[in-house]
Chains A and B, each alone.
Chain A
Amino acid sequence: MQVEGSGPHRSATISVLVENESGVLARVIGLFSGRGYNIDSLTVAPVEQDQRKSRITIVTSGTEMVIEQIKAQLDRLVPVYRVSDLSREGSHLSRELALIKVVGIGNARQEALRLADAFRARVIDATTESFVFELTGATDKLDAFLDLMRPLGLVEVSRTGVAAIARGTRTI
Chain B
Amino acid sequence: MKSKKETKKPLLEIHDLFASTENLTILKGVNITINPGEIHAIMGRNGCGKSTLSKIIAGHPSYEITGGNIKLSGTDIEPLEPEERAQSGIFLGFQYPIEIPGVSNLEFLRVATNARRKFLKKEELDTFEFEDLVKEKLEIVKMEPTFLNRSINQGFSGGEKKRNEILQMALLEPEIAILDETDSGLDIDALRIVASGIKKIANENSGIILITHYQRLLDEIKPDFVHVMANGKIIKTGNSELALELEKNGYEWTDKFIDKT
> Does B associate with A?
no
Q: Chain A: residues with CB nearer than 8 A to chain B? A: none
